[in-house]
Every structure is written in structure tokens, then in C-alpha cells.
Amino acid sequence: MLHALALLAFTPPRGFQAREPIEEIAPAVLEAAEWKEHDACVRSERQQRFLAHYLRASSEARARAVAALIDARPVGASPSWAPGLETLRLVETELSSGSAAERVDLDQLASALDLSVAPGAFHARSEGLGDPLVVHVRRAHAVEVREDFWLELRWLASDGSALPARREAVGARAVTEQGFEMYVRGPLGPPAPWRLFGVVTRPDRPTEGFALAEVRVDAVGELGTRLEAAAAKPRSTQPGFGRALTLARRLVTSGRRGSASLSGGELLLALEHWPEKGAPTGVPVPLELGWREANGVEHWIWTYGPSREPRRALAILSPESEAEDHVLALGLWLDFAERTGTQLFALHLPSQPQDVAALLARLRQWVEQRPLYALARGSATVLLERGFLAGEAPALEGVVLCGPLVARSDPERYGNVRQLVVGPQAAGATHPRRLGLEGSGVVILDDLSLPAQVEAWH
């Protein structure tokens, strides 16, 4: 749910210059880049779904889940390794049903399918027919489909009730990276958040169904009119506003998602309440372009500003396989920001060490004299370390490293900067500038305790 928008704005530092607009990109390249950003959002959504099942499970089931995820890590795997969508689904099935002795083919199929809906938000209507919507069903990861199946789409309301949307027979050959389309109508009712999910069954086993991951599709009042009115606001000097508008329009037109923390209705609200100067506080928003890949994929700096004047800032650096704003979709971090008066930044790091150092220097420009800390998760720990070796060390008050191999990192590479490491064998740290806390090595599980650990440390 969208947090209340505060009246304050996160304003740029004096002398700050927005980065230059980028050159035009060929439509085919741009579409491929949008799909890559969409896939990062899919991964973040699946991880959030997994954590929801994990938190509802018994302590015994949680222990089994942790063991299963640790065992899934190959021997000698690099810090960039993370459980794949297939592994997460397998463990999630065990958390939900209590057993996963065999990998049922329909469960594998349900795990592999991704739904994207265009428009990604629809007009709230109380009578007549709901808005026509196109549901793009594609393969998010490889799966072998040997038989035809039935796919039933259902609407899920915020109170947990479900409404049937459509049911069709699907041929096995239709399950590809390009996918296929189904057609539904938005449910009738007042403006509200809705979710669309699917259930796959076989004709010979109609009662044995497996659910696809749901996708958020909001019912919004006067969607088109409000979006165009928001687009007309004089915010052209703020790159974050332009990015949020791009993500909203992309979601509405194609269903491709570019944010893990904001739905279509929430993006619209953020645009409508965007202050004339600076980014709004109390809601995750893009701030500025961090860097861009040669293939056109953009990596933006996102931020969450607390409702009161921040006293410090924390840059959360995540793996590229997740959406940049992945951690801002977790209420634990937003609560941390409000409780501690911390400005949060969420971003990916580039691969070149000098670019890492330059990006962190830009964040220092944003926070001015306030203390700036960096928290690296998973593969971002390696990139952050390289940034410290690039020459002039980033001006940070402390670094937090969370991952499977952080206990082996060299404390001296971070100079005089205080360090907190969370991972297997990390509790044995003896360096005077390093505090080690035992972690599972599965970053998405350690995320649940990180806010409290960081708060106690700094």
C-alpha cells in the first residue's frame, strides 16, 4: 500500500546538475531493455511472494526452508549466486503444502509462467462491462511442457475473495519466451487494488490445480485523464518525475513492469503529489539515472525520504537480478527509515570500479554533510569492494556487507571505515573495525533481520 505522501520534498543539493538526457534508442532495443527490467521486477515479486509464505510458516517449516536453500547453493559458487525462481518455488511449495517429495509437472509449469496485463491498471466502473484487458502469458524461465493444459485466470480482491476471469485450453507449444495472449475484463467496483493470478490444471485431473504468481492490477478512477493531467505538470527538470511517468505509461500501455515497490495506482498518486522542487517523501520514487548498459537497460537511483528531516542516509546496493527498488517494497526498511530518520537510497552498482566510486560520490552530493552508509547485498558486495580499490575511497561512515562469502573479505580494503558483516562464519570477526553477525548466507532471508541489525550497529 502506498504510504501517505508528506508535504516535505527531498530537494537537490545546491549546485546539483541533472544528468544530460540520453540519445534516442532503436525501438527494438528499447523493448528488449524494457523486458529485461520487467524480468528483474518478476524476480523481486517472486522473492516477496516467497517471503510471505515463509513468514506464515511454522518454525519447523522455516528451518527446513533455510536448509533447503543453503543446500541448493553449488559448491564453490560465487557471491553472485542466488536461488533461482525454480528453487524458490520448490521450497515455497513445501512451505505451503508441507511436502514436496516430488516435483509435480503442473507445479513446475505454474512456477515458470509470468502474467503481464495491458493496461496495467484499469478504469474503476460500478456498472456495465469492465475495461477490456490483454493478459500476456510468457515463460519466465525454462520448463518442459509435454501435454496441453487448462489455464484459468482469476481476480483476487483485497479481502481475499476471488472472481473467475477466463478459462482456456492451452497447447503445450504455446509456452515460449514470446508467450500467448488471453483476454479478460476488469472487475466492477470502486477504485481498489486487485491482483490477477492463474491456475493450471489437466483435463484428466481438473481438481488438481497449481497457482501462478499473482500480478497487481489496480482499479483507478479516471485513469487516463489523471495520468495526462499529471504528465502536464511542470516537472521537466526532475529526472525522477520523468522516470516515474515513463514507468506509469509503460505499465498502462504494455503491462511491462519497471518497479517492484509501486503499482500503477501508486505510481499515479506519486506523480499527482510530486512537489515542484525535489522528490516527494513518504513514498519510494526514482531520483535520477544511475547508469545505463550498452543494451539500453537503465539503472536508476531510487529513494525513500522519511516524513521528518533525515539525520543520516543509507544506500542499499542490490544485485542486478532484482529491481533497483526491491528493498523499498519491504515494509521493514520503510519502517526503519521512519523510525531512525534515515534517507534510503536503492540502486545497482556498475561493473567498473571507477564508476562505482563516482556513483557513490554522487550520493554524497545528495546527502551533503549527513552521515552516509552503504549496505551491499549478495553480488553487490564484490562491486562495492572494487569501488574502494579504484583510487580515492568513497566518503562513507560505514559499510554493511551481507552475503554467503562476506566473512572472507579483507577488512583492510575498506580503510578506516567501520564495517558490519552478516553471513556464515561472520560472527568470528576479530578486526577492530569490523563487527560480524551470523547469517544464513541466503540474502533474501537475511533481509528480514538486516534493518534491526543495522539500527543496532550504527
Please check the confidence at residue 84 and state whether its pLDDT lies above 50: yes
- The residue among 105 and 172 whose pLDDT is bigger is 172
d(CA 387, CA 341): 27
- Total residue length of the chain: 458
pLDDT of 454: 97
Alpha helices in 313-394 (DSSP H): 331-340, 353-367, 380-388
pLDDT tens track for 23-56: 567 888 888 999 999 999 999 999 999 999 999 9
33 and 25 in contact (C-beta within 8 Å)? yes
pLDDT of 101: 43
d(CA 440, CA 449): 11
d(CA 278, CA 339): 22
Phi, psi for 417 (deg, rounded to 5): -75, 135
pLDDT of 103: 56
106 and 201 in contact (C-beta within 8 Å)? yes
pLDDT tens track for 204-240: 887 888 999 999 999 999 999 999 999 998 876 789 9
pLDDT of 261: 97
What's the rounded mean pLDDT across residues 101-113? Answer: 81
For 85-107, the DSSP string reads HHHHHHHHHHHHHS--SS--HHH
pLDDT of 310: 95
Burial grade of 28 (CB within 10 A; 0-12, 13-18, 19 or more) = exposed
Three-class secondary structure of residue 82 per DSSP: coil
pLDDT of 206: 79
pLDDT of 21: 47
253 and 292 in contact (C-beta within 8 Å)? no
10 Å Cβ neighbour count for 310? Answer: 19
Convert 192-227 to b/e letters by CB count within 10 Å (16 or more is b): ebbbbbbbbbeeeeeeeebbbbbbbbbbbeebeebb
Please check the confidence at residue 187 and state whether its pLDDT lies above 90: yes
What's the rounded mean pLDDT across residues 235-262? Answer: 93
Residues 381, 387, 392, 396: is their CA dihedral positive or negative? negative
| CATH 2.60.40.1930 domain extents, the chain | 104-221
Q: State the average pLDDT for the chain.
A: 90
Residue labelled with grid coordinates 500480478:
215
Q: Give the pLDDT band of residue 4 (cuts 50, 70, 90).
A: very low
pLDDT of 12: 67
CA dihedral 161, 165, 170, 174 (to 10 degrees): -100
Three-class secondary structure of residue 350 per DSSP: coil
Query: Nearest Cα to 441, choosing from 409, 401, 402, 411?
Result: 402
First vs last C-alpha separation in the chain = 29
Task: Report the percentage of the chain scoring pLDDT > 70.
Answer: 93
pLDDT tens track for 313-349: 999 999 999 999 999 999 999 999 999 999 999 999 9
Is the domain defined by 227-457 classed in CATH 3.40.50? yes
Burial grade of 113 (CB within 10 A; 0-12, 13-18, 19 or more) = buried
Name the CATH code of domain 104-221 (choices 3.40.50.300, 3.30.460.20, 2.60.40.1930, 3.30.2290.10): 2.60.40.1930
What's the rounded mean pLDDT across residues 272-298? Answer: 92
* pTM above threshold 0.85: yes
Specify the long-range contacts of residues 408-411, CB closer than 8 Å, at least 24 apart.
409/381, 409/385
Q: Give the pLDDT band of residue 80 (cuts 50, 70, 90).
A: confident
Please check the confidence at residue 98 and state whether its pLDDT lies above 90: no
For 213-272, the DSSP string reads PPEEEEEETTHHHHHHHHHTSS-TT-HHHHHHHHHHHHHHHH-----SS--HHHHHHHHH
d(CA 442, CA 69): 7
Residue 64: its H or E element: helix 59-72
Phi, psi for 329 (deg, rounded to 5): -85, -5
Please check the confidence at residue 93 and state whether its pLDDT lies above 90: no
| CATH 3.40.50 domain extents, the chain | 227-457
10 Å Cβ neighbour count for 389? Answer: 12
